[in-house]
Structure 1
Amino acid sequence: MVTFIEKGFLYGFILGLSLGFFIVPYKEVFPMGEGVTETTYLNLVDFIIPLIRVGVITAVIGGLVGFFFYRKKIRAYNNK
């Protein structure tokens, strides 16, 4: 049982981090007027904290999915 949950948690965390690189913004763009924009890049800490948050959320979801797959496997085994 624990291996299903651990694998789901680990795969969810890796998937969340990789998706977080595309979702979490790393810069802010402000229009200044007349076609001029100002771009400021976030500090590393301001980028990593939301990235880890996305990774942990998807890891918990992955752990839940692993738990439900385990329950489904046990039910199929007991019905034989």
Structure 2
Amino acid sequence: MSENVDGQLSTVMIGLGIALLIIFIASLIMFLISYLNKTELSDQKGWKNFRKPAVGFAIISVVLLGIILIVLLLLEVL
């Protein structure tokens, strides 16, 4: 019974990790676009608003990925 629950939990954690990786990559792309637009098109102010949320999403997703990796390692050890 407990092995089955551990298997399901690790599958959920892997799925969450993949989703967070996608969010991290998307936020990096958003940050790069806003950074490139800052140098080329300074009149477009719409992309400037994306910079702070992109950095925030990147930091949050990295922290959550770290937590998930720690939980996965603990599940493998126990």
In the superposition, the TM-score normalised over structure 1's length comes to 0.44
Give the number of the structure with larger relative contact order, counting CA–CA contacts within 8 Å between residues 6 or more apart.
Answer: 1
The structure with the greater share of residues assigned to strand is 1
The structure with the greater share of residues assigned to helix is 2
Larger radius of gyration: 1
